[in-house]
Amino acid sequence: LVGKGFNPTVQIFDNKCSAAFKRFLKQKQINLHLGPPYDHRTNPAEKAIDTFKSHFLAGLSSLPPTFPLHLWDRLIEHAVLTLNLLRPSHLHPHLSAYAHMHGAFDYNRTPLAPPGCRVVIHESPERRATWDLKGLDGWYVGPALDHYRCHRIYVPSTCSERIARRVDFFPHN
């Protein structure tokens, strides 16, 4: 937060906190508020966790039936990004949480697709032999944020992720 220009003044915890963290907060001049035991409604972090869980489970429930479930953890980054694009900032409600922290999201630079969508990656002639197939099956696991108009694709034949630009999407519905 400090790196983005925000100076937190209050930290809210459930009902306990380590002595080392209390010293750290005191050194940084941040007030500590402990909530009552067994009352999670007073802690905004608990509500944020519940919101994320609901958003992530909704994304998992929209996966194609053939999506390999051992890849669910690769969808977390996509879920965090889309959730922060959807929810408003607490300080500036007219901005998304993402826009408040990172600036406007450029959908042209970073296109988004449904999580877990089946895809075919187009193999360029430089990367394939003459009689090889021109496409490679895979699963969309998220945008490649550091690459222009690219996607992160899990390729089952190589058991690895790959950054791809030319992709055809095949939603299951």
Q: List pLDDT tens digits, range 39-55.
A: 766 677 778 888 999 99
Q: What is the pLDDT of residues 97-117, one digit of tens each?
A: 999 999 999 999 999 999 999
Task: Give rounded-to-5 percent helix, strand, coil for the chain.
Answer: 35, 20, 45
Question: SS3 for 45?
Answer: helix
Model confidence, pTM:
0.79
